[in-house]
Every structure is written in C-alpha cells, then in structure tokens.
Structure 1
Amino acid sequence: MSVPTTLPQTDRRGPFLTEDWTVVALGLLIIAVSLAGVIVPAPAFGWNHPSELLTKVFAPGNLLAVLGQFAVTYSIALAGAALLRKPLRTMLLGFPVVFGLTILALLLAGNKTLKDLNLEAVIFSLTIGLAVGNLARLPDWLSAALSTELWVKIGLVLLGTSVIFGDILKAGSLGLIQALLVVLSVWYFAFWVAKRLRVDEELTMMLASAVSICGVSAAIATSGAIQGDSKKLSYVISLVLITAIPMMLLMPWAAQGLGLSPEVTGAWLGGTIDTTGAVVASGSLAGEAALKISTIVKFSQNVLLGVAAFAISLYWTYTKKGTANPATQQPTGTSAQFGLIWERFPKFILGFVAASLLFSFVLPSTTIATVKDSLKSLQGLWFALAFTSIGLETRFADLINADNRRPLWAFLIAQGFNIIITLAIAYVLFG
C-alpha cells in the first residue's frame, strides 16, 4: 500500500495529557491489569542449536506469549498516540515494524553462544536499529511512529516494580552512601568539564546526569525536567549505550587483574556502568557476590533519580533558562516559581516511585511472585523497543560531526573520572 510522504501533524488542540502524565497513566494501567489477574506470560527466547528454534522459541505456546506481548504493547502505544493526539495511522503502520526488529534482537540475544558473552538484548536492539537507520532511508511514516521517550519512560515506571526499598535497606547503608558520593562528585565534575569545553547548557545537564546517576534513565529524567531537545537526548543515550559495551566486558577483567574483592568489584561496577542491564551482565561475569552488590548500588542510584530530577528542576527554574519572565530573567513571584517547578518536574518519576512503594510495602509476597516475571519481561521489552527506536533515529555521521566532538570528549573525560573516583569510594566503603 502507498503511504503519502506528507504526514498529518499533531492535533493543534493539544494533547489530552502531557507525555509524562500519559506515561504514568499507561505504566500504572499495565501494573493494575496484571494485578487484576490479566497476566501476559513471559516468552522464552533461549536457544542453542537451530533445531531448538522450532521446538522452543517457535513452539505454539511461546508464540502465543509473544503475540500476547505484542497485543499489550501495540495497544499501549496506540493509546499513548491517542492521548498525545499524534497521528494514529503512523503508529498503526510503524509500531509492528519496530516490534519485529526488536523480536529479531531478542532472538539473537537468546542464542547460547552470544548469551555466554553476557550481551544484553538492548545491545542487539540498538545494533539492529543503527544498521537499518544508517544503511537505509527510513520512510516518513516509520520515522513519525518512533516514540523513544514514551516507550523508555513506560519501561521506567515498570522498573519501579523491581526497585524494592526493603532489599536495599537489608543490604545496609553502604550502597546508598556510595551512590550519594558518586552522584555528587561525578555530576559536578562532568558539569565543570562540559562547561570548560563550551558544551551548551541543555546538553551539559543531560551529560552530567547520564554519567553520574544511572545513564539512560537519568538523561531522560533530566531532559524532562528541563524540557530538553529530543535530538540532544538521543545523542546522549547513544553515547551511554555505546560506551557501556566495552565497559561491561572489560571492567570485570580489570577488577580481576587488580585483585579486587567481589564486594569492591560489585560496588565499582554498579556505580560506574550507566545502564542497569549492563551492570547485571557485567556483575554476572564477576560472580554472584559481585552481582548482588553491583545491583544494590545501581538500584541505590536509581532511587536517587527522583531526588536528582527534582533538584535539577529547581536549578533550571531558577536560572535564566527556566524563568517565567524572559525580559527580567527572574521568576515573577513565589506562586509562579512553584508553579514553574511543578510544570517542569518529570511526572513519570511519580509513577516510578508509586510502583516501587506499592511493591515494597503494600503488596503481599505471593501477589508479587505471581506478576513479577510478566512485568519484568514487559519492562525489558519496552526498553528493547526504545533502544531499537534510538538506533533507527541515530546516524553515525551526527555522532562524530564537528558540532558533537566537544560533548563527546566531555562525556569520555567525565566517564574516565567516574571510573577512578568510584573505584576509590568503593574500596574505602567495601574494601
């Protein structure tokens, strides 16, 4: 069928809900439906020999689980487009393409040989998206369907169901202490380096948050807090994911070479690597004890995400970029100040916190055990869909052009400082 190159624009009447409130509504809806008993089984993608593709992955029951996840994510994606008054036709056509590419990534990630390398599915999603996006020109209807931020934020709300405050508290306060020290020191260093290299303020804020807090999640939260440029956000996310791959593979080897204990290794990995999936994969390479500590430290940083987003909202509001009165460059009054803070605060963080509190302190363990696998699988799928979308949107030429070299150097220098200072803090606290 032919699709016109000129696409309908977003409804001029404005969205029913802002993107963040749409994410909160849709993320909590998925959780509520699961708790009500409508549980989508988590499909299996693991295989060793090609014959197992037919007997395991493409078995009728497993295909039904894949179709069930497609039905859920497709419906949510269409509901998101409707709430945001975006063209439904492009989402109707484009989402199945992104889903198909993502399933291909999950199939590759499920191969035993590749899985033994501890490569996360999101790496394959990003790689496939980058290959397609850089080797072929995307049709307009597919480009218009890509909703990276929406899909990642839905995954972040679902991530709250696995960030259990009780687990962190049981492990003691060391993880939270390290997370706080790392976030503060690395954020300010990254901010200082980026300013010295004359990186623009929006990109500086996103880079500093991504390096210091929790990678993609922090970059998205910061972009929401300052209403940042989506192209700059995609650039930062691409940097985070690309640098996470060598760090994930090399840091466990470096820790072994340095003779670090499993506890120090885990704290180093969890505080340095910027994506949760890569932390888990890297921690698995270093052993069970290191994996436990690395996960706790990373979750501690995730918990600080909401606090950091609020602090960034305050900072941005009280600078010339966030003032309500451009003529005076000053806030126009106390009520206006708080109104602007609330307007810029990333509301999807509320969904993340609500989900975490619900699963930490309200739901019985039997209920959590019933729904956790399904929700975790859907969370991973939303992330994989988003990373496929990031790859499709990202062009290598844009990453290395002259305008992007300074933020690239700022990111790499800050990441180098992050590796060194986090190792020192981890050694003092866990050594």
Structure 2
Amino acid sequence: MSTNENKFTLHEDWTVVILGALVIILSLSGVLLPVPVFSWATGADLADKVFSIANLRIFGLQFLFVLLIAGLGALLTGKNLKNYLLGFPAVYVLTIIALIIAGSKEAKALNLEGVIFSLGLGLIIGNFFKLPEWFKSILATELYVKIGLVLLGTSVIFSDILKAGSLGLIQSLVVVTSVWYFAYWVCKKLKVDDEITMMISSAVSICGVSAAIATAGAIKGDPKKLSYVISLVLITAIPMMVFMPIIAAYFHFPQQVTGAWLGGSIDTTGAVVASGTLVGEEALKISTIVKFSQNVLLGLAAFAISVYWTYTKHPAAKDADKKPTLKVIWERFPKFVIGFIAASLLFSFFLPETAIAEVKGSLKNLQGLWFALAFTSIGLETNFADLFSRENKKPLYAFLIAQGFNVVVTLVIAFVLFNK
C-alpha cells in the first residue's frame, strides 16, 4: 500500500474552507503573526532590517505556522506527508527570496508585486533544473491560492459583493455563453478533437484550470489531453497577468472596469488575484468577485456539458445509472467560495471594529504569503517544453484565438456594466 494513502481524505475545496477558517479562528483567538520586513533600499538596509535577528525570527515563526496549516492540508487531501515535510521548506525559502527581491527599492519603483517574482523564480528553477517527481507531487498550487482567497474574504465588505456580484453575474453569463460558443466554433473549424474542444471551450470561458478539470470529469476525458489544456491555461495566463494591467494603466481605465476585465478574461483565479493586486485594492476586489461569479457557474456548466456529452457523444450509455443528475452541480461547485463569503459575512456584520483592526495586518500578510507560495509552485510545475514539443499546434491556435476574442468581449462588457 502507498505510504500516502489516507482513507480519511477530503476534497481539496472542503479542506481549503477548513484551513481558512482555522487561520481566521486562530487569529481572532490571539495567535497573531508579526509582519516581517521586506522593504530595503541599500545593502545596509538588507543586512540591518531584512536579515536582522528579529526579522529572521519572524520568518521562522511564519514558516512554522504555514508548515502546520499546509501540512494539515496535505494530510487531509491524502498527500505523502513525509515528502511534503521534505519539500515544502524549499518552496517557502524560494518564496521568501522572491518577496525580498520584490521588496527592493528598484522593484517597488517598477510597481512589481511579490507574486511576479515568486512566479519568475519558480519558472527559472522549474525549466532549467529537473525536479524529482516526489517534489512535484507536493506542490499544491490550488490549495495555497484558495486559502489566500478565503482570507481575502476578511477584507471584502459583503455589501460590495452584493453590489459588484450582481453585475459580475450578468457579465459572467454574457461572457461565458458567448466565449464558450465562439471557442467551440473555432475548435471545430480547426478540426480539434472533441475532448480537447470541450476542455478548451470551458477553460477559456469559465475559470481556466478548474473548468478544464470539471469538464474532463464530466466527459471522462483523457488525462493527457487535460494536462495539455492546463499547460495552455497556465502559460497564457502569465503574459496576460503582467500585460493587461499595463495596458489598463496606459489607457487610464477605471479600476472597477480594469478589475472586471481581469476577472472576466484571465483564466486562473490565482493570476486574476495577482493582476488585480498590480492595479490596486479596488481592482483586486472587483476582479476577485467577478471571477467568483464565473466560478459559481462552474457547477451548472459541468452539468450541462455532462448532459450534452452523454446524449450526443455516448448514446449507448443512456442507462439510468449513467445519466447525469443534479448532484453533479453540487459536486462541481467550488466550495472555497463558501469560505470566502462566510469570512466576508463574519467581518462585515459580526465583529467589532477593534477586533478587526487587531487582526487585519496579520491576516493580510498571510493572504499575500499564500498567494506567493502558490505562484512559486506554479512556476516550479510549469514546463514550456511540454507545450511546444507537441506536434499538433491546432489546440494552441484555437486557444489563443478564443482567448483574444474573450479579452475584447469582456472589456466591452466591463465598460458597459462597471464604468461609472
């Protein structure tokens, strides 16, 4: 029996809700981590502030805390705990190095956030060094991103969710429907096979990796094809995450419009968060809320796709036990959204201002750290050679065309709904 087999495993989304709640409860109970110093302008600053004994102690405390939380996540999701304990320290150290680089005066002058450096550092190591499989197996990108998103809920007022969420839902319905059908049409024109067509259409129009995974599950797709589509999503998200905020700044788009544009067109939740962070607080909130609006549609989309696939592609499988049911909607629903909304409700209506003020700095620091850990992991597990070594480039062309259409349509809708 495999050493990482665990009969008490939970789905990752439920694990994220539990871990996010645990971090919040510990903070409200008085377990507050000091915020480390990353800012420096000279070599003397680097030595006296960032690498001071006091700051190194804070790094150590922070490491033990996230090691415990992420270790519990590894245990609950059935990952090999021994491998995790061996590999996670390396991910943490790389992330801290990236955040220290981002804290330099030069990086701040360029308005570059830590997640960009953690992603870049991960990409350099992941593409120039051969990483062992046991190390790759402990990387938990989605887990780290979603814990950060649950914590983000503590800083988003619920009235903002209701206000922007209704507009975000309208945008999502228009974007998902139009982009999905356009992507499907392009794939058919380029003669991309049916499984990849469904995965690309969902990934571009809904929410990237999660949608591709949900669609593959709904149609029982080939894991190799799923891996290829996920590679497309991750690689195209990187330049979009960096350049879309630059384009928005150049044309002076309002933050709300920019946030809606980012949230509606960038395919991965983590990349949406990173790009929103580059623009500003308002853009980050709106982009996250709009992305959540699309995430909410994931269950409905997976159900519709499973119905379509069962009745059109596999007519022989129309037995009662093979037919999709409403249970699929709940199974595909992104549970971490529940944690985000619960955290927002708690901090919006049930906690006094004094309690919120005490934990705000610590939770914001942890939120940023989880996002940075996620992007280090994305860099480490993304290999450009895997994508471009494929002989058939048609899925790549289809994905890029559909993504271009997505960017333009979403921007137009964002201006119509969010420009005030």
Shift of 1:395: 1.3
Q: Is the 8 A contact 1:248 1:273 kept in 2?
A: no
Partner of 2:383: 395
Q: Does 1:92 align with 2:105?
A: no
Q: Is the 8 A contact 1:21 1:347 kept in 2?
A: yes
2:19 maps to a residue whose letter is L
Deviations along 1:378-408, whole A, 9 cap, x unmatched? 2221222122112111211112233573343
Q: Which moved more, 1:137-146 or 1:271-280?
A: 271-280
Partner of 2:276: 280
Partner of 1:240: 237
Unmatched tracts of structure 2, length 5 or more = none
What is the CA–CA distance in structure 2 between the aligned matches of 1:384 and 1:140, rounded to whole Å? 22
Q: Does 1:18 align with 2:6?
A: no
What is the CA–CA distance in structure 1 between the aligned matches of 2:375 and 2:81, rounded to whole Å? 21
Shift of 1:330: 5.6
Q: Is the 8 A contact 1:226 1:344 kept in 2?
A: no
Unmatched tracts of structure 1, length 5 or more = 1-7, 285-290
What is the CA–CA distance in structure 1 between the aligned matches of 2:113 and 2:86, rounded to whole Å? 27
Change (3 A) 1:339 1:191: same
What is the CA–CA distance in structure 2 between the aligned matches of 1:308 and 1:370, rounded to whole Å? 36
What is the CA–CA distance in structure 1 between the aligned matches of 2:187 and 2:8, rounded to whole Å? 35
2:307 maps to a residue whose letter is Y
Partner of 2:118: 125
1:240 maps to a residue whose letter is A
Aligned pairs, number: 408
Partner of 1:109: 102
SS in 2 for 1:85: coil
Match of 1:220 among 210, 217, 240: 210
Match of 1:365 among 353, 378, 394: 353
Partner of 1:153: 146
What is the CA–CA distance in structure 1 between the aligned matches of 2:22 and 2:256, rounded to whole Å? 38
What is the CA–CA distance in structure 2 between the aligned matches of 1:63 and 1:409, rounded to whole Å? 48
What is the CA–CA distance in structure 2 between the aligned matches of 1:268 and 1:150, rounded to whole Å? 25
Match of 1:33 among 26, 42, 55: 26
Match of 1:312 among 294, 301, 309: 301
Shift of 1:54: 1.8
Change (3 A) 1:233 1:163: farther
Deviations along 1:14-50, whole A, 9 cap, x unmatched? 4432322222222221122112221112223121212
1:233 maps to a residue whose letter is I
Q: How does 1:65-84 map to 2 (within 5 A)?
A: 65-84=58-77
Change (3 A) 1:52 1:183: farther
Q: Is the 8 A contact 2:113 2:278 kept in 1?
A: no
Q: CA RMSD in A?
A: 3.5
Partner of 1:3: none
SS in 2 for 1:318: helix
Shift of 1:194: 4.1
Partner of 1:337: 325
2:136 maps to a residue whose letter is S
Change (3 A) 1:330 1:27: farther
Q: How does 1:143-222 map to 2 (within 5 A)?
A: 143-169=136-162, 177-178=170-171, 180-199=173-192, 207-208=200-201, 211-212=204-205, 219-220=209-210
Q: Is the 8 A contact 2:180 2:201 kept in 1?
A: yes
Change (3 A) 1:426 1:328: closer
The two structures have a TM-score, normalised by structure 2, of 0.82
SS in 2 for 1:244: helix
1:131 maps to a residue whose letter is I
What is the CA–CA distance in structure 1 between the aligned matches of 2:277 and 2:41, rounded to whole Å? 19
Change (3 A) 1:278 1:188: farther
Q: Is the 8 A contact 2:13 2:336 kept in 1?
A: yes
SS in 1 for 2:326: helix
Partner of 2:341: 353
Shift of 1:175: 6.1
Change (3 A) 1:202 1:357: farther
Q: Is the 8 A contact 2:87 2:138 kept in 1?
A: yes
Percent of aligned positions that are identical: 51
Shift of 1:125: 1.4
Q: Is the 8 A contact 2:74 2:84 kept in 1?
A: yes
What is the CA–CA distance in structure 2 between the aligned matches of 1:19 and 1:321, rounded to whole Å? 27
Shift of 1:318: 2.3
Match of 2:42 among 21, 36, 49: 49
Shift of 1:95: 0.4
Q: Is the 8 A contact 2:199 2:215 kept in 1?
A: no
Q: Which moved more, 1:44-53 or 1:370-379?
A: 370-379
1:350 maps to a residue whose letter is I
Q: Is the 8 A contact 1:9 1:86 kept in 2?
A: no
Change (3 A) 1:110 1:332: same
Change (3 A) 1:196 1:376: farther
2:35 maps to a residue whose letter is A
What is the CA–CA distance in structure 2 between the aligned matches of 1:142 and 1:219, rounded to whole Å? 21
Q: Is the 8 A contact 1:206 1:219 kept in 2?
A: no
Q: Is the 8 A contact 1:165 1:356 kept in 2?
A: yes
Q: Which moved more, 1:115-124 or 1:178-187?
A: 178-187
What is the CA–CA distance in structure 1 between the aligned matches of 2:215 and 2:68, rounded to whole Å? 28
Q: Is the 8 A contact 2:259 2:276 kept in 1?
A: no
Q: Is the 8 A contact 1:225 1:345 kept in 2?
A: no
